[in-house]
Amino acid sequence: MRDYRKFYIGGEWVEPAVPNALDVINPATEAVAGRISLGSEADVDRAVAAAAAAFPGYARTSRAERIELLGAIAAEYQKRMPEIASAITEEMGAPGWLAMQAQAALGIGHVMTALEVLKTYSFDEMQGTTLIAKEPIGVCAFITPWNWPINQIACKVAPALATGCTMVLKPSEIAPFSAILWAEVLHAAGVPAGVFNLVNGDGPTVGAALSRHPQVDMVSFTGSTRAGVEVARAAAPTVKRVHQELGGKSANIILEDADLAAAVTGGIKAVMMNSGQSCNAPTRMLVPAGRMEEAKAIAKSVAEGTTVGSPDGNAAMGPVVSQTQYDKIQGLIEKGIAEGATLVAGGPGKPEGLETGYYVKPTIFADVTNDMTIAREEIFGPVLAMLAYEGEDAAIAMANDTIYGLAGYVQGSPEKAKAVARQLRAGQVNINGAGLDLAAPFGGYKQSGNGREWGPHAFAEFLETKAIIGWGLEAAE
């Protein structure tokens, strides 16, 4: 059993101010997998003080020094990658293949992306005789979720380090193991003491203390829209910058000229990946009304062919993360049935033979209308809603009829798909199953958040802009 009851503060592993142990549950076995400590406001104060003390020195490091540091982090991470993947499987149930090939791989992917951006990023530019300087914002607080634990840590920490910021991380207390290993990687890579700090804890205590802390200059939160609102409220009195990557209910528009079998199959696989626990999952599939029956048949076959099982094997899907999450998903499946949607595949309860563990059946609903609960609320589980539309304009209106705007998907001929993509109110739109681009900005419209992560756009989140008027006067004379 893992014992991770210390926090990483000021370059050292330290005891919490007040002992407050929490058991971490393996979602595949429902057994205790390890133990962490829940931090307090005193722990937050200590971590923020360490980050604040380290900031002046680290902010003055050169581009070359930070490039070297990110390279060292990448090298250390590579050594620990199998161990990190194993921790992710244990803490949140990702199948081993997914934990290694996607979950852990994204960690080093974000580090390498930040390193490449840093090599050429322009921190200074002249505007006439005025210097426009982009400088590190200061001490950053990071509050990260359990669903893609290392991905969400790396996509915040890497650009923050690249731009000269210091930070305090509060990972999810539900899936904290990989974050501890991340801290060990940074320590081994030689990140200066106080530049990166980690305090475990829950949102109402540690998350709130970080959000309102007067010495924190910026807070970056990934999680539910409800929790994001609370972070913003706590941060408001100190007028700090707030970055949020929140919920989603992304539409996947299958156009009339799309390859229906490929589009439906790809859409369902995208929803079921990570057991549906992805904020940008294409959970509303919009299908031409005249092709709905054909789409239902394809969907049923794909869903029933999706294997569910222990994350130690080769199943496509493991469990969802917790009893709480399982219960929420089950309630929404029951709601879909009660509101009259057609259950095409899956449904309530656990898959046969998987009574232990938080396993959910791959579930497909059809004949869903956009006012149903399962079309409005983020389920965060392996549940797809299929909606019929008449005409592209109706599909676009239906796709945009949501409080969210994180992602969108379009399947069809390139010319038509591009035209539709331009009309979707979402921060990232994928055409015809294009591969991931870690340099592309990621973030949402509307209640899916504000600001952007990944690539050069992430750097802007961690920089202040200073105008030094008269900088070039002597040269001009």
Q: Tell me which amino acid residue 190 is.
A: G
Q: Does the pTM exceed 0.95? A: yes
Asked if residue 220 belongs to a domain, the reply is yes
Residues 235 and 292 in one domain: no
Q: Catalytic pick from 140, 155, 165, 279?
A: 279
Q: How many domains does the chain have?
A: 2
Alpha helices (H) in 148-278, listed in sequence order: 149-163, 177-189, 208-212, 225-235, 260-272
Query: By C-alpha distance, which of 267, 362, 375, 348 is closest to 319?
Result: 362
Q: Please give the order of strands across the beta sheet that includes 218-222.
A: 12-14, 7-9, 196-198, 166-170, 139-143, 218-222, 241-245, 449-450
Asked if residue 439 belongs to a domain, the reply is no
Residues 202 and 263 in one domain: no
Asked if residue 474 belongs to a domain, the reply is no
Where residue 475 falls among pLDDT bands split at 50, 70, 90? low
Residues 265 and 298 in one domain: yes
Residues 235 and 283 in one domain: no
Residues 192 and 49 in one domain: yes
Residues 186 and 263 in one domain: no
* CA 108 to each of CA 26, 253, 366, 456: distance values in angstroms, whole numbers, following the listed order: 25, 32, 39, 16
Asked if residue 477 belongs to a domain, the reply is no
Active site residue 293: no
Q: Catalytic pick from 245, 378, 453, 461?
A: 245
CATH number, residue 6: 3.40.605.10
Cβ–Cβ under 8 Å, residues 136 and 164: yes
* pLDDT tens digit sequence for 221-274: 999 999 999 999 999 999 999 999 999 999 999 999 999 999 999 999 999 999
CATH number, residue 369: 3.40.309.10
Residues 169 and 260 in one domain: no
Active site residue 245: yes
Asked if residue 476 belongs to a domain, the reply is no
pLDDT at 476: 54
pLDDT at 304: 97
Where residue 182 falls among pLDDT bands split at 50, 70, 90? very high
Residues 389 and 265 in one domain: yes
- Mean per-residue pLDDT of the chain: 98
pLDDT at 432: 98
Residues 106 and 234 in one domain: yes
Domain that holds residue 274: 251-431
Residues 186 and 45 in one domain: yes
